[in-house]
Chain A
Amino acid sequence: MQKIKPLDHLILILGVLFLFVPVLMTLMSSTHGAVEIHSGGLYITPGSDGAATYAKVLTHRGGFTGDVTGLLMLTNSLIMGLGFAIGKIALSMMAAYALVYFRFRFATLLFWMIFATLLLPLEVRIMPSYQVMSTLGLLNTYTGLIVPLLASATGTFFFRQFFKSVPDELLEAARIDGAGPIKFFIDVLVPLSKTMMAAIFIIMFIYGWNQYLWPLLMTTDESFYTLMRGIKSILQVWVGSQIPDYNEAFALAVLAMVPPVAVVVIFQRMFIKGLTESDK
């Protein structure tokens, strides 16, 4: 119907170049040596030092105490991403269930209390949050890394929206079939939400994995460092060195971006659905 003009493709190709080439160059440059990069700039073709660089980044003990390896940071990032995604789904699904399917005192008040968390992102209350965490003795713990991030309503809203779209008759049929609240939740609602759970899992995993500021504050013990925290420390070491370890920084960046990017690309359809239908 509509004619395709070469200009459309040109614009798209420029867009792809602007967005994707930096990623590609990061990937390629990480396979070159530091000296090579220092003298020759960034590369768009693969080099030969990749294996050595990645082996070093993954297994070499670095940092200030000499305890932290890339592998450990990778594991911590994974714990962070998975823990956050699972925690988020569990908490928000349960809360949304209570809000949608029950008539109880203070329901509206609780709804607004949860709703209000959307008003203030973590970055705004970072200082007092840190103090609270230190009062509770949760610095340098996985609990401290993950649980406070769960205090937001995004997931709850997402599931509330979804539960509202579930036909009323399903609950009515289940009640006639003799299912109580817990049975209905486990037998009907949870299996019904599978696709939605998967979509929100992807979004939340990426969110957890990509956390930067919170791990920066929560963890001084290097055994709790995530990859994002590692990037910060590699840059701190950087200052003052003759030839910075460009290759290692790039390798770390690649490690930090490959899992979430892979998840998005593989589950693209589901991810887009989850993202756009939940409105954030």
Chain B
Amino acid sequence: MTDTPLRIIETERTLLARFREWWSGETANPVKRVQFDRPLTPWLFILPQMAVVVIFFYWPSVQAVTSSFYIEDPFGFGSTFVGLENYQDALNSSEYMSTAAFTAFFCITVTALALGLGLLLAVKADKVIRGAETYKTLLISVYAIAPPVAGLIGMMFFDMHMGPFTQIAGWFGYELKVGINYWDTAIALITISVWKQIPYNFIFFLSGLQSVPVSVREAALIDTKSGWRRFKDVTLPLLAPTAFFLLIINITYTMFDTFPIIDVIVKDKPANNPMTLVYKVYLDGFKGNDIGGSSAQSVILMVVVALLTVLQFRFLERRVHYG
């Protein structure tokens, strides 16, 4: 279309302007109307954070990328540059692909269940008056439990000798073998991960619901008698930003923060157990001493996460602009 060249010029102009901003510190829209203009003081304030970020974030990140192009000698006698071989190995390995497939499945299931149940409970807790505070406190308290503790508790509940869930499955004639049977372990991992994440979603959905203005609720009450329609047509659209935010958070959670749960349940024994990509990075790197391969996997994950985060921020930015 005719506007294309114009848009390119516009982009170049913005890039130049941005570059000038970076260089000079002059911003077209400063955060504050009035700012301090001192050459040294801001550096004093920002230096500690920058030091930590550079040493403990950028250095390792760069190292991850570099070592992903090398194969480390298992006995520590130097390393060989192999280009993209580590990446090819990872992507061609059926084990890697099946782990990736499980990670995707795990992500979708846990996110869907944790979001759905969190929303359901939030909607109900928002509705009731009697006992609302008690429900809230009890539901929220689980948030603070560390994932490894959640894993430990879950392990007990799925224990083959005395776990209540194993017993319940037994009543239906099913022998639950967590840690031995692939899908049984998967069920345990999903249950524990969902259990741990519901409170987080609950908190956000509830606060989202409670920020719906009373006048809007009352207007909806006048407009329709059906509670479900009110929820579907009024409440849900207003919750959409919260839901999207939580979606990204939950995906990140299942990909990374479930590490301790998996570690507690699977206990370094991949044998015939499901695991996520992050856990495989850890196993290959620390247990398998395949530093190059592990780094290549790290970099692949980095790209995935970076994309997710960019998506999240683009969206958040929009939310800020359009209310």
Q: Taking A22-B157, A132-B55, A272-B207 as contacts, is the C-beta distance between A103 and B63 under 8 angstroms?
A: no
Q: Taking A104-B39, A108-B25 as contacts, is the C-beta distance between A9 and B128 under 8 angstroms?
A: yes
Q: Taking A26-B156, A151-B53 as contacts, is the C-beta distance between A101 and B32 under 8 angstroms?
A: yes
A114 within 8 A of B: yes
Chain A binder among B82-90, B99-107, B116-124: B116-124
Q: A173-210: which residues lie under 8 A (CB-CB) from chain B?
A: 175, 180-182, 185, 206, 209-210
**Cross-chain contact B278 with A268 (CB below 8 angstroms):** no
Contact of A164 among B31, B43, B167, B199 (CB under 8 A): B31
Q: Kindly supply a per-residue 1/0 record for chain B positions 112-133, scoring 1 wherever the CB is within 8 Å of any chain A CB and 0 otherwise.
A: 0000010011001101111100
Q: Kindly supply a per-residue 1/0 record for chain A positions 115-143, scoring 1 wherever the CB is within 8 Å of any chain B CB and 0 otherwise.
A: 00111110111111111100010000000
Q: B40-69: which residues lie under 8 A (CB-CB) from chain A?
A: 41-43, 45-46, 48-50, 52-53, 55-61, 63-64, 67
Chain A binder among B6-14, B140-148, B180-188, B232-240: B140-148
**Nearest CB in chain B: distance from A243 CB, A:** 9
**Cross-chain contact A20 with B142 (CB below 8 angstroms):** yes
A147: chain B residues at CB < 8 Å are 52, 56
**Nearest CB in chain A: distance from B282 CB, A:** 6
B131: chain A residues at CB < 8 Å are 9, 12
B96: chain A residues at CB < 8 Å are none
**Cross-chain contact B57 with A26 (CB below 8 angstroms):** no
A71: chain B residues at CB < 8 Å are none
Please measure, in the bound complex, the distance between the C-alpha atom of A253 and the C-alpha atom of B156, giving whole angstroms.
11
Q: Taking A101-B36, A113-B50 as contacts, is the C-beta distance between A257 and B302 under 8 angstroms?
A: no
Number of A residues, CB within 8 Å of B: 107
**Cross-chain contact B203 with A105 (CB below 8 angstroms):** no
**Nearest CB in chain A: distance from B97 CB, A:** 19
Q: Taking A119-B302, A206-B144 as contacts, is the C-beta distance between A151 and B195 under 8 angstroms?
A: no
Output the nearest chain A residue to B136 by Cβ-Cβ distance: A268
Q: Taking A124-B298, A131-B63, A151-B52 as contacts, is the C-beta distance between A268 and B309 under 8 angstroms?
A: no
Please measure, in the bound complex, the distance between the C-alpha atom of A29 and the C-alpha atom of B153, giving whole angstroms.
11
B161 within 8 A of A: yes
**Nearest CB in chain A: distance from B262 CB, A:** 11
**Cross-chain contact B281 with A126 (CB below 8 angstroms):** yes
A2 within 8 A of B: yes
Q: Taking A26-B156, A172-B34 as contacts, is the C-beta distance between A95 and B50 under 8 angstroms?
A: yes
A107: chain B residues at CB < 8 Å are 25, 27, 42
Q: Taking A4-B129, A127-B286 as contacts, is the C-beta distance between A42 and B64 under 8 angstroms?
A: no
Please measure, in the bound complex, the distance between the C-alpha atom of A131 and the C-alpha atom of B147, giving whole angstroms.
25
B245 within 8 A of A: yes
**Cross-chain contact B305 with A119 (CB below 8 angstroms):** yes
**Nearest CB in chain B: distance from A208 CB, A:** 11
A102: chain B residues at CB < 8 Å are 35-38, 41-42, 45
A100: chain B residues at CB < 8 Å are 31-32
**Nearest CB in chain A: distance from B157 CB, A:** 6
Please measure, in the bound complex, the distance between the C-alpha atom of A216 and the C-alpha atom of B251, giving whole angstroms.
24
A23: chain B residues at CB < 8 Å are 141-142, 145, 153
**Cross-chain contact A124 with B281 (CB below 8 angstroms):** yes
Q: Taking A95-B46, A123-B278, A261-B145 as contacts, is the C-beta distance between A38 and B121 under 8 angstroms?
A: no
Highest count of chain B CB atoms <10 Å: which of A22, A127, A275: A127
B81 within 8 A of A: no
Q: B143-182: which residues lie under 8 A (CB-CB) from chain A?
A: 143-149, 152-157, 161-164, 167
Please measure, in the bound complex, the distance between the C-alpha atom of A151 and the C-alpha atom of B48, giving whole angstroms.
10
Q: Kindly supply a per-residue 1/0 record for chain B positions 265-302, scoring 1 wherever the CB is within 8 Å of any chain A CB and 0 otherwise.
A: 00100000000001001100110000100110010011
**Nearest CB in chain A: distance from B82 CB, A:** 17
A130: chain B residues at CB < 8 Å are 286
**Nearest CB in chain B: distance from A41 CB, A:** 4
Cβ-Cβ contact count across A and B, 8 Å cutoff? 317
A276: chain B residues at CB < 8 Å are 203-204, 207
A213: chain B residues at CB < 8 Å are 259-260, 263, 282
Q: B4-27: which residues lie under 8 A (CB-CB) from chain A?
A: 18, 21-27
B291: chain A residues at CB < 8 Å are 127
Q: Taking A95-B48, A268-B137, A272-B207 as contacts, is the C-beta distance between A117 and B57 under 8 angstroms?
A: yes
Can you list 24 A-B pairs with a CB-CB distance of less than 8 A? A9-B131, A11-B124, A19-B195, A19-B198, A26-B153, A98-B41, A109-B22, A113-B58, A119-B306, A126-B281, A126-B285, A128-B298, A132-B60, A151-B57, A156-B49, A163-B31, A171-B34, A185-B45, A212-B259, A231-B264, A232-B148, A257-B145, A257-B149, A268-B140
Residues on A facing B (Cβ under 8 Å): 1-2, 4, 8-9, 11-12, 15-16, 18-20, 22-23, 25-26, 29, 37-42, 90-92, 94-95, 97-110, 113-114, 117-121, 123-132, 136, 147-148, 150-152, 156, 160, 163-164, 168, 171-172, 175, 180-182, 185, 206, 209-210, 212-213, 216-217, 228, 231-232, 235-236, 239, 246, 249-250, 253, 256-257, 260-261, 263-265, 268, 272, 275-276, 279-280
Sample of 11 further A-B pairs with CB below 8 A, known A19-B142, A101-B35, A164-B31 = A16-B139, A101-B36, A105-B25, A109-B22, A110-B46, A124-B301, A160-B31, A164-B32, A217-B286, A231-B264, A256-B148
Kindly list the 10 A-B residue pairs having the minimum CB-CB distance in the complex, ordered from nearest.
A210-B146, A260-B144, A95-B49, A102-B42, A98-B45, A128-B63, A128-B60, A151-B56, A98-B46, A148-B56
